[in-house]
């Protein structure tokens, strides 16, 4: 088992955020993470008896979807740095090997450094690599996504191994505005700088730099209810359920007036034709390793 470097600020921030969110993660915001997990498997249907590496597996939603699709003879390895998330994953109703299910293993480790993870290296040695590597809702949390993808490319089976990753679109949604520019404005330390996506080709570029062939890229539906805010609904947006966490931070820091002034500026800068579209659409890319 690999250990995690808690001195790394990105890892420390993830541990803090997802330890807090672990228990309620699956049902948060209407449970859309579970919908996305099932879609991952529909977008990249796995062959039977295959080997899958589910990176940043969290509570095991995507891991569970893979395990139900590949059957006996298959192997699924889920890797995450947050023990409370993995605790939730281990409680899920995975198909048992004796009932025709695959072998499923969970590993506490950083997905940025898998060289010392025995469960991962065993698959590379015995099977020649993973047939599928998935990373769901986590690339934007990494300090160096390009470096990470290059390291994962070597874990794929030559010529046939494929990888699937998603990133949020560049839309200035309510969630992104509250989580990043407003938090910065009220002095809340942020390690994750938010989504740096600049169109659907951003992820494709990272794939090509990692010597991966891009098979398919597409934009998904919204995984949160879509809504259009008008300019005068500025305070409705801040008082929405999505703004609850930010409101708590404001109250803790006693910076209500500062937050309101900052929000007015952020709101005005991100309106398009006097409106703000809200939702949560993603870009997804599937890539293949060469020979």
Local confidence band at 178 (pLDDT 50, 70, 90 cut-offs): confident
Domains in the chain, ordered, with CATH? 9-157 (3.40.50.150)
Tens digit of each residue's pLDDT (9 = 90 or more) over 201-230: 889 999 999 999 999 999 999 999 999 999
For residue 109, the model assigns a pLDDT of: 95
The SS3 of residue 44 is coil
Bridge partners for 195 per DSSP:
none
d(CA 70, CA 123): 15
126: CB partners within 8 A, 6+ apart: none
Local confidence band at 2 (pLDDT 50, 70, 90 cut-offs): very low
Instruction: Give first-to-last CA distance, the chain, whole Å.
Output: 29
DSSP 183-195: HHHTT---SS---
d(CA 217, CA 228): 26
Tens digit of each residue's pLDDT (9 = 90 or more) over 155-168: 999 999 999 999 99
């Amino acid at each position: 088992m690999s250990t995690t470097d808690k001195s790394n600020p990105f890892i420390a921030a993830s541990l803090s955020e997802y330890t807090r969110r672990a228990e309620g993660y699956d049902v948060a915001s209407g449970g859309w993470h579970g919908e996305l997990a099932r879609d991952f498997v529909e977008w990249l249907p796995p062959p039977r008896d295959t080997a899958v590496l589910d990176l940043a597996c969290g509570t095991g939603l995507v891991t569970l979807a893979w395990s139900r699709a590949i059957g006996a003879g298959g192997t699924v390895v889920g890797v995450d740095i947050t023990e409370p998330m993995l605790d939730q994953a281990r409680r899920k109703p995975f198909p048992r090997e004796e009932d025709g299910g695959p072998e499923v293993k969970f590993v506490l480790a950083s997905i940025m450094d898998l060289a010392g993870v025995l469960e991962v290296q065993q698959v590379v040695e015995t099977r020649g690599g993973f047939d599928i590597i998935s990373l769901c809702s986590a690339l934007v949390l990494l300090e160096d996504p390009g470096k990470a993808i290059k390291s994962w490319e070597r874990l794929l089976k030559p010529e046939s191994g494929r990888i699937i990753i998603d990133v949020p679109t560049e839309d200035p949604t309510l969630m992104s505005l509250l989580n990043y520019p407003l938090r910065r404005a009220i002095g809340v330390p942020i390690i994750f700088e938010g989504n740096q996506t600049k169109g659907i080709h951003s992820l494709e570029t990272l794939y090509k730099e990692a010597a991966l062939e891009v098979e398919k890229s597409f934009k998904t539906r919204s995984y949160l209810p879509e809504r259009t805010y008008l300019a005068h609904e500025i305070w409705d947006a801040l008082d929405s359920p999505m703004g609850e966490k930010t409101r708590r931070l404001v109250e803790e820091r006693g910076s209500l007036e500062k937050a309101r002034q900052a929000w007015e500026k952020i709101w005005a800068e991100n309106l398009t034709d006097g409106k703000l579209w809200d939702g949560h659409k993603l870009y997804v890319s599937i890539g293949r390793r060469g020979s």
